[in-house]
């Protein structure tokens, strides 16, 4: 095999060198554009994910506020009224941030303070501001924000009802009929807000999926552009090589010199014995080839799966060329990577050969997997998030409706979780949530879906005829043992609401609202228990 130094010995004319460098800079520009697109797409989807989690906190805030105000109406306990004001501050904080960001020249410090009051993670706030300010006019984002704004009226109504309850209780014990009227108003506000929360989460989930697809398509076209440029450039080299070989033997040496400037790995293989006759520097680096290994290596050693090699050979025999064939390859050290092949039959040194240009697409595949994972999973626990859960629940209900099957939904909310956050800090609270998520996963069946909706709310979707009461008791029991949070040992219980398909509803929103309402019935009954959905009287 001729050493690499000999292959690069001929000097190209200045004009040709300039053309080659121009081609290289085109590829550099495309790669930089792909990197920028990937960065912006990851930031966009991270911001969408932060809004989905923020919606969970917002939803929990308003539900906690209604729950605390309900208890205050029933028992006139000042601690419940204080809890109501603290929970309501989450909703008013998010509203403050949204109203400020809608201004032509917003004060970002005010917006950030609002998001912090809404209990959003400080690391997520800059991304949330970035999404609101730069993508506000996108239809899906605008729709989500419009739904968000539609909740203002109900929050204002809740505030007014709270003030009326406060005034009435200060005046003396509430008559039973007046208390029932207040409770009915609170129940109506909760029923009005729950569909808005689900629509907001669903809209953002749809937006995440839509923009993920758009981003992937854009990345695909960028990669195709790179491949097309590489292919066109390589094909031009191939044609030049054929003419040079027919005209003058020395043209092969000039071609080798030109190939050294190609921005992609290029290999020439003799078909008769599959010997590598030529590999440019990019190919040697990609496959970790030395002078000795190049002599003994055969192209079949590049393939992780031998069937891929057979597929490539069959395509070459059928058409004489292959473009954009994606294969799993490996280098001389056995390290695998994904590559896109563009190959064509040529004559080289008097032999029938195949010349192949290769593009390493490992980064693209990793970016694809990362984008998909971020769009559908909770960053703290690794569980499916609300968007993935809603999508899975929708498909499950359609499947159960077609087959006549049954399913159950367990809505799990930790009792007094805020106290742990307040006493031990959010880091310990996050550690507890991860341990709770692991315990729930370990106690359910392999086919059951466990998801985190946000905050300290989890759901379990159980398909089939398995007894939901037994499953709920199992979850309660597995959550009761002590948790070790660093140097602290804590105990925590949960309240679980259960709704069943089709007894309690056949629609996604109905079934989830029923389980949510049952969970709050379990809390009202004293916590650390299970409550099946029962329609309010």
Distance, CA of 225 to CA of 211 (rounded, Å): 21
C-alpha neighbours within 13 Å on the C-beta side of residue 97: 29
Give me the catalytic one of 124, 413, 456, 516: 456
Active site residue 509: no
Give φ, ψ of 51 to 5 degrees. -65, -35
CA distances from 475 to 143, 339, 511 (A): 37, 46, 20
CA 368 to chain centre: 10
* Tokens of residue 297, six digits: 């290596």
R_g over Cα of the chain: 31
* Tokens of residue 19, six digits: 């053309």
| Pair 475, 440: CB distance under 8 Å | yes
Task: Tell me what percent of the chain is helix, strand and coil, each rounded to the nearest 5.
Answer: 65, 15, 20
Termini Cα distance of the chain: 89
| Pair 237, 260: CB distance under 8 Å | no
Instruction: Provide the b/e sequence for 392-403 (b: ≥16 CB within 10 Å).
Output: ebeebbeebeee
Nearest alpha carbon to residue 121 among 426, 384, 403, 395? 426
DSSP string, 429-441: HHHHHHHHHHHHH
Q: Which residue matches tokens 């929708």?
A: 394
Secondary structure of residue 532 in the 3-state scheme: strand
Please list the alpha-helical segments (H only) found in 172-302.
176-247, 251-259, 281-287, 291-296
CA distances from 313 to 305, 331, 535 (A): 13, 20, 67
| Pair 454, 62: CB distance under 8 Å | no
CA distances from 259 to 45, 265, 513 (A): 40, 9, 65
Secondary structure of residue 481 in the 3-state scheme: coil
* Tokens of residue 499, six digits: 């709704």
* Tokens of residue 391, six digits: 């999508």
Strands (E), 331-364: 336-348, 351-360
Q: Burial-class residue 511 by CB neighbours within 10 Å (0-12, 13-18, 19+).
A: buried
Q: Helices then strands (H, E): number in the chain?
A: 17, 12
Secondary structure of residue 492 in the 3-state scheme: coil
Catalytic residues: 456
């Amino acid at each position: 095999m001729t050493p690499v130094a000999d292959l690069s010995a001929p000097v190209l004319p200045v004009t040709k060198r300039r053309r080659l460098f121009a081609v290289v800079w085109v590829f550099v520009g495309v790669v930089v554009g792909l990197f920028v697109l990937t960065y912006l797409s990851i930031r966009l989807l991270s911001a969408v994910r932060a809004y989905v989690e923020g919606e969970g906190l917002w939803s929990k805030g308003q539900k906690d506020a209604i729950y605390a105000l309900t208890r205050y109406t029933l028992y006139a306990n000042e601690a419940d009224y204080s809890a109501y004001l603290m929970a309501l501050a989450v909703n008013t904080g998010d509203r403050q941030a949204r109203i400020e960001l809608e201004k032509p020249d917003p004060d970002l410090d005010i917006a950030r303070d609002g998001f912090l009051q809404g209990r959003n993670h400080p690391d997520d706030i800059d991304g949330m501001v970035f999404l609101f300010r730069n993508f506000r006019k996108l239809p899906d984002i605008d729709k989500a924000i419009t739904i968000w704004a539609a909740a203002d009226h109900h929050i204002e109504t809740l505030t007014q009802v709270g003030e009326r309850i406060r005034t009435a209780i200060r005046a003396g014990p509430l008559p039973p009929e007046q208390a029932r009227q207040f409770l009915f108003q609170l129940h109506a506000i909760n029923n009005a807000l729950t569909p808005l929360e689900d629509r907001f989460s669903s809209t953002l989930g749809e937006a995440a999926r839509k923009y993920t697809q758009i981003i992937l398509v854009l990345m695909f076209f960028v990669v195709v552009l790179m491949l097309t440029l590489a292919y066109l450039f390589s094909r031009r080299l191939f044609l030049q090589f054929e003419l040079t070989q027919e005209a003058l033997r020395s043209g092969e040496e000039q071609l080798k010199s030109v190939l050294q400037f190609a921005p992609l790995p290029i290999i020439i293989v003799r078909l008769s014995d599959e010997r590598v006759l030529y590999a440019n520097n990019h190919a040697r680096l990609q496959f970790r080839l030395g002078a000795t290994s190049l002599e003994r290596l055969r192209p079949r050693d590049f393939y992780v799966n031998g069937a891929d090699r057979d597929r490539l050979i069959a395509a070459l025999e059928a058409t004489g060329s292959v473009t954009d064939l994606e294969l799993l390859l490996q280098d001389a050290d056995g390290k695998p990577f994904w590559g896109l092949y563009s190959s064509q039959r040529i004559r080289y040194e008097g032999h029938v050969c195949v010349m192949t240009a290769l593009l390493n697409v490992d980064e693209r595949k990793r970016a694809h997997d990362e984008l998909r994972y971020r769009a559908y999973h909770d960053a703290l626990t690794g569980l499916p998030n609300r968007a993935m859960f809603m999508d899975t629940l929708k498909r499950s209900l359609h499947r159960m409706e077609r087959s006549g099957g049954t399913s159950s939904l367990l809505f799990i909310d930790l009792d007094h979780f805020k106290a742990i956050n307040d006493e031990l800090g959010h880091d310990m609270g996050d550690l507890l949530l991860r341990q709770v998520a692991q315990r729930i996963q370990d106690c359910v069946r392999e086919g059951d879906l466990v998801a985190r909706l946000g905050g300290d709310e989890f759901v379990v979707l159980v398909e089939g005829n398995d007894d939901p009461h037994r499953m709920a008791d199992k979850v309660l029991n597995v959550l009761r043992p002590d948790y070790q949070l660093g140097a602290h040992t804590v105990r925590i219980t949960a309240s679980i609401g259960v709704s069943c398909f089709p007894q309690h509803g056949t629609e996604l929103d109905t079934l989830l609202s029923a389980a949510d309402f049952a969970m709050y019935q379990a809390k009202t009954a004293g916590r650390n228990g299970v409550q099946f959905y029962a329609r309010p009287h």
